[in-house]
Amino acid sequence: MKIPAVQTVEVFTEAHQLNGLKILHLSDLHINKKTSLKSIQELIDVCSCIAYDFIALTGDIIDCNVRFIKAQLHLLNQLKNVFFISGNHDLVYGINDLKKELDTFIFLDNTTTFIEFKSHHIAIAGLSDRFSRFFGIKRQEDNIIQFLQKYPNGILLSHQPKDYKIALKGDTDLFLCGHTHGGQIYPFGYFVRIFQPFLHGLHHKNKTAIYVNKGLGNWGINLRYKADNEITLIKLVKK
């Protein structure tokens, strides 16, 4: 896993409550038996140098059975103020085992909560991956939408860009996701676009800002081409 420099993306919002909020967005680590402790420590060191309010980790943390990577996951627990949701690979390799190891992280699958920021309570919600139904997990889409509608100017985390429609129904200000790897190897991004509405980067629909993180790890082969991995600091700025 290559650790890149952090890039900052300013996202404009109409909500004064969100002005100045800084979210460190990580996604798709794909930690496996070949992931070194050194690379995990490098990630922690980079993140510790960034001033952020919380970390949003949008799925696919693991890419093998948890029993093979406990040391890497225990080290990852050094990250502070992390909210995470499942990706499809996390479900395949054992989301319950993953939750047990990441005991300092806040698990947001089908859950809602608030973060306190400058005396404001900001609504934040998470959805389990769209493959949840194959693992006997019911996604609480209606409950999430109702919560976000009740507490406007909120934030939604989900793994796949397809879920942006739920963010729109919930009238959220910000939707964060990953999954695509930005295509990982050009020109496979064109194939990804058949299944996903967005490939990478910042997009807008109505009042909702959508950010698709290209992720840190790789899937299948340890190679990227014209789809660099990323760590992104999302900074919300009042229009």
pLDDT-based confidence at residue 210 (cuts at 50, 70, 90): very high
DSSP 188: T
Q: What pLDDT, on a 0 to 100 scale, did the predictor assign at position 138?
A: 94
Beta bridge partners of 113: 124
Q: What pLDDT, on a 0 to 100 scale, did the predictor assign at position 184?
A: 75
pLDDT of residue 102 exceeding 90: yes
Task: Please compute the mean of the pLDDT values over residues 215-223 and round it to a whole number.
Answer: 83
Do 94 and 65 meet the contact criterion of CB atoms below 8 Å apart?
Answer: yes
pLDDT tens digits for 45-68?
Answer: 999 999 999 999 999 999 999 999
Beta bridge partners of 8: 233
Q: How far is CA 141 from CA 16, 111, 146, 152, in A?
A: 27, 10, 9, 16
Which regions of 48-167 does DSSP assign to beta strands (E)?
54-58, 82-85, 106-107, 111-117, 120-126, 155-157
Q: What pLDDT, on a 0 to 100 scale, did the predictor assign at position 223?
A: 67
Question: Which residue in 199, 194, 90 sits closest to 137, CA to CA?
Answer: 90
Going along the chain from its start, the domains and CATH numbers come out as 6-238 (3.60.21.10)
Q: What pLDDT, on a 0 to 100 scale, did the predictor assign at position 220?
A: 77
pLDDT of residue 191 exceeding 70: no
Q: What pLDDT, on a 0 to 100 scale, did the predictor assign at position 219?
A: 81
pLDDT tens digits for 5-26?
Answer: 899 999 999 899 999 999 999 9
Other Cβ atoms less than 10 A from the Cβ of 16: the count is 12
Portion of the chain with pLDDT greater than 90, in percent: 83
Average pLDDT, the chain: 94
pLDDT tens digits for 113-156?
Answer: 999 999 999 999 999 999 999 999 999 999 999 999 999 899 99
Structure tokens at 107: 């698990």
Task: Please compute the mean of the pLDDT values over residues 186-210 and round it to a whole number.
Answer: 87
- The contacts of residue 98 (CB under 8 Å, 6+ apart) are 61, 62, 66, 73, 90
Structure tokens at 70: 């406990």
Q: What pLDDT, on a 0 to 100 scale, did the predictor assign at position 216?
A: 94
